[in-house]
Structure 1
């Protein structure tokens, strides 16, 4: 069977995208005052001009306490004018644009936000240096409804899609994780109970937007921590999402921003750069002294999530987006051959925003990304590749 062409149009729910490449959500750190900045507009315009079919705005919190830190977009009427400017700029370059929506849960910085972080169970957050409060049933209901409201605001702002964040031990993902969720009520214990937050959020979004925009979900295949969510349970959650009809595609991811962030990224662990980027001197010292226990190094290889993702491809009819170590054209072509609908790229596009255009013109184009991960600490001052020539 001939695989689909990388640079031919492809359907995603109600959308037709111009090719198979999606700019993955990479938190930009460019939303001063929790609204869109000119820098954020230009960041996504540049990726759109560089050839991706769709760029993903990361990350748009559905509630103020759901931000990872205070200078982060949260979906409210005050954010609407800036979001419209951003979507207009992307559309002018011929690309679609998606809003990654979600609630950071225990990953949120309660001190920065001035509001307690919420999780399935009470715990201490080493990142926020504060206690995470157990979410009540009222909190869960409010956050579920907030996902629907955020999706409706995305429609009003001109977004073509929303990506519901069900990964990285953010709110919904933390409920899925047996290592974090120690509840004894209807949201804890069995997988069916632990999956309620994720499934209800996706259903609420679908009911709110219908088929006006595409709905994706970013789902952890595994947490990368002992006792966390693993492939067998994640695959069952994916089957439920497919049966619910709540999403048009799944983007498969892994790792825990709370407990093991480098499990997703692989490659070098830039400890010195992370320490230097920390605003809190206590956190800065902690990263220098014991950061290696948290920011671990994993060997990089192309398509490092493919082996796990194959199990999802074999079990589901739902369109899947392959993420993780896709920096070369032949890797994307391999994904198409194996039945994935789209590929999502992050670091390689930070290094070269025009990489997709050049790949289309010349099949021998090679990505310059060296997976040093020094882009990661830049999220505090504006996400970028530190090796790129900023004058181009």
Structure 2
């Protein structure tokens, strides 16, 4: 493909069939603003604020394709009852001049079965340490059902006015856990070799593409590194990215990292707010987090563009458009990403801190983000996601969930 040399990140661009006003995306950060699987006014206001702030496209985080594909009971679930609210949401974002994408996926072993009242699925029988429950291995019927559900979600995304979908193949949700040799111990056509472990995710993408055609952009969120020994790693990610490109099943790749199950802070460089997490949790979980939290919620140093070096290895292996995620907070990093061959940038925490950051950067390229990467925004996932540094968003005692079954995993924040 022909590539524009050092494109302007704030100039219009095409993502597959979607024309965006600029190359900045609001990354999926689980909002916890839907209720009982349906859109709320609060969720609409959240995305309208980011659209008004200047992003080219905003992403609605984690819309589950099946009831057992949720993490908690409130996440948006693709079904007929959700259509009116989803249409109100897309119309409101479009009115601000931005495009809107829906992240679609199946939570797999990350599902809190007690909260969702469903049976979680994993590639192989798996013990979830977070919820202290055995997760059953997915049957072939389960695999076929989930693939069809992704296609149905794409069909409904078109019907409700979404411009794109982001298919989640990261963070050890179901498709990602199939990719991981650490979790996938199957002996059939979906386990063993990388070709087999990737089969499920690639079939999902083919099914979504068959529905989307030229009516919907398709972004793939793919792990480069699970962040644990024996997990999915960058050499395998390069091969999977090449298979995706060859199949023509996606319009852009967004590379990510980390495991919701085994290393939830790996994606989030910066502070690890263990004490804040503990304070927001009910007993006896609170005591457990205080005792072992530092071993589970490990801390990694922050640097601007911290995933760029690894993502450039994927960039060297494929020519399809790529989105840089991780530590994008200022115009300098955006320009470096464009110069390095990335086509778009995705921003999460920086936009939670300042939803109008893109407009401000457009006015003054020297604008610096006020986000200090304390990651206390992650604690707010238990109620509704926000930056606690904004005066109107200070944490309060009401941020504690009413019961343990309400608790989602920290990496759900990333989407």
**Considering the TM-score relative to the shorter chain, is it more than 0.5?**
yes
- In the other structure, the counterpart of 1:377 is 379
Q: Is the 8 A contact 2:65 2:78 kept in 1?
A: yes
Q: 1:169 aligns with which of 172, 176, 185?
A: 172
Q: Does 1:244 align with 2:266?
A: no
Q: Helix, strand or coil: the match of 1:205?
A: helix
Output the CA distance in 2 between the equivalents of 1:184 and 1:286: 36
Shift of 1:376: 0.4
Shift of 1:357: 0.1
Q: Does 1:18 align with 2:33?
A: no
Deviating more after overlay: 284-293 vs 367-376: 284-293
Q: Does 1:29 align with 2:32?
A: yes
Write out aligned runs for 1:274-353 (5 A): 274-279=277-282, 281-353=283-355
Q: 2:357 aligns with which of 330, 355, 358?
A: 355
- In the other structure, the counterpart of 2:269 is 266
Q: Does 1:210 align with 2:213?
A: yes
Q: Is the 8 A contact 2:237 2:314 kept in 1?
A: no
Q: Is the 8 A contact 1:116 1:131 kept in 2?
A: no
Output the CA distance in 1 between the equivalents of 2:156 and 2:321: 25
Q: Does 1:68 align with 2:71?
A: yes
Q: 1:190 aligns with which of 177, 180, 193?
A: 193
Shift of 1:3: 1.1
Describe the superposition over 1:283-316 as per-residue Cα deviations: whole angstroms up to 9, x where unpaired: 3322121121111000001111111011111110
Output the CA distance in 2 between the equivalents of 1:154 and 1:273: 36
TM-score by length of 1: 0.98
Q: Does 1:3 align with 2:6?
A: yes
Q: 1:365 aligns with which of 367, 374, 385?
A: 367
Structure 1 residue runs without a partner (length 5+): none
Q: Which runs of 4+ in 1 moved over 4 A?
A: none
Write out aligned runs for 1:71-110 (5 A): 71-110=74-113
Q: Is the 8 A contact 1:375 1:386 kept in 2?
A: yes
Output the CA distance in 1 between the equivalents of 2:67 and 2:284: 25
- In the other structure, the counterpart of 2:227 is 224
Q: Helix, strand or coil: the match of 1:221?
A: strand
Pairwise CA RMSD: 1.0
Q: Helix, strand or coil: the match of 1:375?
A: helix
Q: 1:257 aligns with which of 242, 255, 260?
A: 260
Shift of 1:2: 4.7
Output the CA distance in 1 between the equivalents of 2:379 and 2:160: 30
Output the CA distance in 1 between the equivalents of 2:90 and 2:131: 32
Describe the superposition over 1:318-365 as per-residue Cα deviations: whole angstroms up to 9, x where unpaired: 100000111111000100011100000000000000000000001111
Q: 2:51 aligns with which of 44, 48, 51?
A: 48
Shift of 1:68: 0.8
Structure 2 residue runs without a partner (length 5+): 394-415
Label 1:214 to 1:46 Cα distance change in 2 as closer, same or farther (>3 A). same
Shift of 1:126: 2.0
Q: Helix, strand or coil: the match of 1:262?
A: coil
